[in-house]
Amino acid sequence: MRVLLIAPNGMLGRAWKGLLESEGVEHTAVGRPELDITRPETIASMVTPGCTHVVNCAAWTDVDGAESHEEEARRSNAGGPAALADAVRAIGARLVHYSTDYVFRGDGDAPYPVDTPRDPVSAYGRTKAEGEVLLEESGVDHLTIRTSWVYAPWGKNFVLTMRRLLTERDQVKVVDDQRGRPTSAEHLARASLGLMRADARGFFHVSDGGEATWFELARHIGDREGTTCAIEPCTTDAFPRPAKRPAYSVLDLSRTEALIGPMPDWRNNVNAVLEQL
Ligand SMILES: NC(=O)C1=CN([C@@H]2O[C@H](COP(=O)(O)OP(=O)(O)OC[C@H]3O[C@@H](n4cnc5c(N)ncnc54)[C@H](OP(=O)(O)O)[C@@H]3O)[C@@H](O)[C@H]2O)C=CC1
Ligand SMILES: Cc1cn([C@H]2C[C@H](O)[C@@H](COP(=O)(O)OP(=O)(O)O[C@H]3O[C@@H](C)C(=O)[C@@H](O)[C@H]3O)O2)c(=O)[nH]c1=O
C-alpha cells in the first residue's frame, strides 16, 4: 500500500496523517496550494504511478456558508472528486473519498442503508451528493465512506465548540430534535484503513456506535467536564441557522460492521477525545 493523503491539515486529514505514521504505511501528504482539488494541473503533478490509494480528505465543510457560496462549495465537493477520479483512474489506483449523512433527506425513522436514494436539504448536502454521483459515473475504482458529526481534539467541531461554550456561558440551548451518530476522526481514519485492508470497494458508512441528539451529546460533554453551565434542550426552530439540517440522520453501519467488526460507542470515543485535551 502506498498512499497519497490529500488535505493532511484538516480535521480528518490530521487523524489520517497520525495513523499512517503510527502504522508505518508508506505515504505522501499534500494540501493546498501544492494540491488544490479544484485545479486539475496540481492533481496531475501529484497523482502519479506507484501510488495505490489516494485518500481525499479535502472538502468545503462550512454547512451554513455553502448556502450563500454554493458554486464555490460545488467546485471542491463535486468538481474536486470528479477531477481526482479521472487522475486516479488513469494510474490504476483506488480513490478513497468521504461523504456525509447530509446527502439524505433526514425525514426517516430507521438507519439509512448505503443504497438509500440521495435527497439533500442543504447546499452542502447537494454538492456532496453531486460529488458522489460524479465519482460513481467516472468508473474509478473507489471506496466512498459516508460519515457524520465528526469531532477530534483539533479542528472546528461541535465537541470543541460546546466545551468552550460551557466555560464561557451560564446557559446554552442545544437542539434536541436532530438525531444522528457522532464520529471520532481518529476512529474514522482507523476504520477507513481497516476497510482498505479488507479490500472494500463502493459505498460504506462509518461512524461511532450508538446514536444521539446534539443536546444529548452536549449533555454528555457537560457531565464529563463537570460543568456548572445549564444545558437546555431546544427545537431546531428555536435555534435558526442559514442551512437546514436533517432531523433524522442515523447511518446504517451493517455493511461496514460485517467486514471490520462493531463500531465503538460514541460515549467511549468522546471520552477519549476529552481526555486528550
Ligand atoms: N466535519 C464533519 O462533521 C463531517 C465531515 N465529512 C466529510 O469528511 C471529509 C473531511 O472533513 P473534515 O476533516 O471535517 O473537514 P475540514 O474542514 O476540517 O478539512 C477540510 C480540508 O480540506 C481542505 N480543502 C478544502 N478545499 C480544498 C481544495 N479545493 N483543495 C485542497 N484542499 C482543500 C482544507 O484545506 P485549507 O486548510 O487549505 O482550507 C482542509 O484542510 C470531507 O469530505 C467532509 O465532507 C462528512 C461528515 C461529517
Ligand atoms: C453551537 C451550537 C449548535 N447547535 C446546533 C446547531 C446544529 O443544528 C447542530 C450542529 O451544529 P454544527 O454547526 O456544530 O454542526 P454542522 O455544521 O451541522 O455539522 C455537520 O458538518 C458537516 C460537515 C457534516 O457533514 C455533518 O455530518 C455534520 O457534522 O447543533 C445548538 O443547538 N446549540 C449550539 O450552541
User: Does residue 203 lie within any of the structural domains?
Assistant: yes
User: Does residue 147 lie within any of the structural domains?
Assistant: yes
Evaluate: CB of 184 within 6 angstroms of ligand 1: no
Domain count within the chain = 1
What is the grid cell recorded at 115?
Answer: 443504497
Q: Which residue from 76, 103, 118, 149 has its CB within 8 A of the most atoms of ligand 2, so it is best to mutate?
A: 149
Report CA dihedral (182, 188, 192, 195) to the nearest 10 degrees: -50
Measured from the Cα of 180, ligand 2's closest atom is 27
**This prediction's pTM:** 0.98
Q: Whose CA is nearest to atom 25 of ligand 2?
A: 100
Measured from the Cα of 63, ligand 2's closest atom is 17
Residue 154: the pLDDT is 98
Q: What is the pLDDT of residues 114-162, one digit of tens each?
A: 999 999 999 999 999 999 999 999 999 999 999 999 999 999 999 999 9
- The CB density around residue 110, as the number of other CB atoms within 10 Å, is 9
User: Does residue 82 lie within any of the structural domains?
Assistant: yes
CATH number of the domain where residue 33 is located: 3.40.50.720
User: Does residue 79 lie within any of the structural domains?
Assistant: yes
User: Does residue 270 lie within any of the structural domains?
Assistant: no
Evaluate: CB of 59 within 6 angstroms of ligand 1: yes
Cα-to-centroid distance, 10 and ligand 1 (Å):
6
- The CB density around residue 75, as the number of other CB atoms within 10 Å, is 18
Residue 84: the pLDDT is 98
Residue 93: the pLDDT is 98
Q: Whose CA is nearest to atom 20 of ligand 2?
A: 149
User: Domain range holding 99?
Assistant: 3-156+183-209+250-265
User: Does residue 191 lie within any of the structural domains?
Assistant: yes
Residue 28: the pLDDT is 98
User: Does residue 8 lie within any of the structural domains?
Assistant: yes
Residue 42: the pLDDT is 97
Q: Which residue from 245, 250, 251, 270 has its CB within 8 A of the most atoms of ligand 2, so it is best to mutate?
A: 245
Q: What are phi and psi of 223, to 5 degrees?
A: -60, -45
CB-neighbour burial class of residue 263 (10 A; exposed 0-12, middle 13-18, buried 19+): buried
Q: In what order do the strands lie in the sheet with 212-213?
A: 212-213, 179-180, 248-249
Q: Beta partners for 175?
A: 234
- Determine contact, residues 234/176, Cβ cutoff 8 Å: yes
Mean pLDDT per 10-residue interval, the chain, length 277 residues: 98 98 98 97 96 98 98 98 98 98 97 98 98 98 98 98 97 98 98 98 98 98 97 97 97 98 98 97
Evaluate: CB of 154 within 6 angstroms of ligand 2: no
Residue 68: the pLDDT is 98
User: Does residue 23 lie within any of the structural domains?
Assistant: yes
- In the annotation, is 124 catalytic? yes
